[in-house]
Amino acid sequence: MGANGGPGGPETAPVRIAAPQVITAEAGARILSPGYVTISGSVVTDVGEGRPPAAPDIDLPDGTLVPGFVDLQVNGYFGADFRTAGADGWAAVVRGLPASGTTAFLPTLITAPLGELTATLRAAAALAPRLPFGARVLGVHMEGPFISPQRRGAHNADWIITPTPAAVDALIEAAGGLLRVLTLAPELPGALAAITQLSDAGVLVSMGHSDATAQQVALGAEHGARMVTHLFDGQRGLHHREPGVVGQALTDPRLTSGLIADLHHVCGPACQIAFAAAPGRIAIVTDAAACAGMPPGRYLLGGELIELPAGDGVPPVRADGTLAGSALRMDTGVANMVTAGVGLAAAVAAASRVPADLIGRPDLGRIAPGSAADLVWLGPDRRARATWIGGQRMEPGAAYAADGAAGIER
């Protein structure tokens, strides 16, 4: 296996890709029209505007070449719920996500009994050497169990607990270095100490499913929290005398917010407001559940039933009608934000560089010399037509193996 989860092996000749448009997603970079990218092995070695200096090996006839998408919140996909899935389920997600332009992601576990969460984390660590080559697994996102009962959304109220040093340690120890993000409510007793404890262990703390005031969110940021989970959803909203979680998230430069870009969890004008208020601090997420990529029917989220109704883009729900994740693709999320009035370059960055930088992976989410050759060709309809991971083109539905496996990255 290569150093970034891609295929290893001998060096190959450079590959030049020309496109009518290239969005590098680097901060302040403009769209290259036309542009080209040179790949050597698993990394990008050259990016330029105009036609390449030598004949391209791949000449895209239309659309846009963009960095691979990085999704920080994926509860499941293709019928697999990460809370209950075995090796085959994890493998199906890793192999299948590149068809939607996602080249790296965080499997997400929602609130469950603490003992079951630690067991699931240990099982995830055991799966690491057996995953096939595909979308990079960058760690695990633990959404709960330290959340507000008043803002629990689709989480089971019986399993919510307050953070204690012992409970936090149990999750960190069970993950064996895989715990990358943990969502909690900063107003809970012991939450500020937990934020410090998690941050000291290298875990990015995100504030969500929270009834916190703006001041409590600011205190969370002072203690090391750097993210807000699915902005607008499962949190105290914006009020003109109490800005709440939303107001603090949009105005605090320390915080980057995930945003479920399906236009059902958050309507188009609210998405546009978020991008305008916090430029460079919005990360598109799918919050996808097991129903994503599947027909309407019953599936699991966190081990409990949800229903995916018929209808294009309609999210799944619990029996009581509560929204329960989504069936969103990342390329559709980008297209939705463009429809909502967000510029294409900003939408692409929100799906690539912004989340990659947030979790400390500057080698991902951009097209620049030295970055991983994770690329997506978006057609004029913003749909992913082809995806490369570490320079290797992924074919939808194919079973890939690189030196036998691609592991969870640490």
**What's the pLDDT score for residue 1?**
31
pLDDT of residue 252: 98
- CATH code of the domain in which 375 resides: 2.30.40.10
Both tokens assigned to 103: 């080249």
Q: pLDDT tens for residues 21-76? A: 999 999 988 899 999 999 999 999 999 999 999 999 999 999 999 999 999 999 99
CB 105 within 8 A of CB 71: yes
Q: How confident is the model at residue 409 (pLDDT cuts 50, 70, 90)?
A: very low
pLDDT at 351: 98
- Measured CA to CA, the distance from residue 109 to residue 88 in angstroms comes to 17
What is the pLDDT of the chain when averaged over all its residues? 93
Name the residue among 9, 8, 103, 155 with its Cα closest to residue 364: 103
Q: Which residues contact 293 (CB under 8 A, 6 or more apart)?
A: 77, 78, 79, 96, 327, 329
pLDDT at 311: 84
**Mean pLDDT on 228-251:** 98
Same domain, 353 and 375: no
Q: Do 230 and 89 reside in the same domain of the chain?
A: yes
Sign of the CA dihedral with 360 first, then 363, 365, and 368 last: positive
Domain presence at residue 406: no
Does the structure show a pLDDT above 80 at 401? no
pLDDT in tens, 260-291: 999 999 999 999 999 999 999 999 999 999 99
How many CB atoms are closer than 10 A to CB 240?
6
CATH label of the domain that carries residue 331: 3.20.20.140
In a domain, 185, yes or no: yes
pLDDT value at residue 402: 29
- Say if residue 59 is in the same domain as residue 129: no
Same structural domain, 233 and 279: yes
Residues taking part in catalysis? 287
Q: How far apart are CA 113 and CA 183, in angstroms?
A: 16
Using only C-alpha atoms, what is the Rg of the chain? Answer: 20
Average pLDDT over residues 104-109: 98
Average pLDDT over every residue of 367-376: 98
**Average pLDDT over every residue of 291-297:** 96
Parallel, antiparallel, or unpaired for β 35-40 and 15-19?
Answer: antiparallel
Collapse the DSSP code of 233 into the 3-class scheme (helix H, G, I; strand E, B; otherwise coil) and give the result: coil
For the record, the structure tokens of 130 come out as 């057996």
Half-sphere exposure at residue 145, Cβ-oriented, CA atoms within 13 angstroms: 22
Q: What's this model's pTM, rounded to 2 decimal places?
A: 0.94
Q: Are residues 186 and 209 in the same domain?
A: yes
> For 77-90, what is the mean pLDDT?
95
56 and 106 part of one domain: no
- Kindly tell me if the per-residue pLDDT of 253 is higher than 70: yes
pLDDT of residue 396: 60
Q: Is residue 410 scored above 60 in pLDDT?
A: no
Q: Are 130 and 179 in the same domain?
A: yes
Give the whole-number percent of the chain exceeding pLDDT 90.
Answer: 90
List pLDDT tens digits, range 114-169.
Answer: 999 999 999 999 997 789 999 999 999 999 999 999 999 999 999 999 999 999 99
In this prediction, residues 231-235 reach a mean pLDDT of: 98
108 in a domain, yes or no?
yes
Q: Which domain holds residue 31?
A: 15-66+368-394
How far is 91 from 404, CA to CA, in rounded Å?
13
371-396 mean pLDDT: 95
327 found inside a domain? yes
The pLDDT tens digits for 184-227 are: 999 999 999 999 999 999 999 999 999 999 999 999 999 999 99
Domain count within the chain: 2
- And the tokens for 102? 């996602």
For position 4, what pLDDT does the model report?
Answer: 34
Domain-located, residue 74: yes
The answer on pLDDT for 174 being more than 90 is yes
Does residue 2 form part of some domain? no
- Confidence tier at 11 by pLDDT (50, 70, 90): low
**Quick check: helix, strand or coil at residue 192?**
helix
Same domain, 39 and 50: yes
How many of the other CB atoms lie within 10 Å of CB of 26? Answer: 16
Instruction: Give the span between the Cα atoms of 330 and 378, in whole angstroms.
Output: 11
Inside any domain, residue 401: no
- The stretch 80-86 carries a mean pLDDT of 95
- Whether 5 is covered by a domain: the verdict is no
Q: Rounded distance, CA 399 to CA 78, Å?
A: 15
Q: Which two tokens stand for residue 66?
A: 């963009």
SS3 175: helix
Quickly state the pLDDT bin for 406 (edges 50, 70, 90): very low
- The answer to whether residues 320 and 389 belong to one domain is no
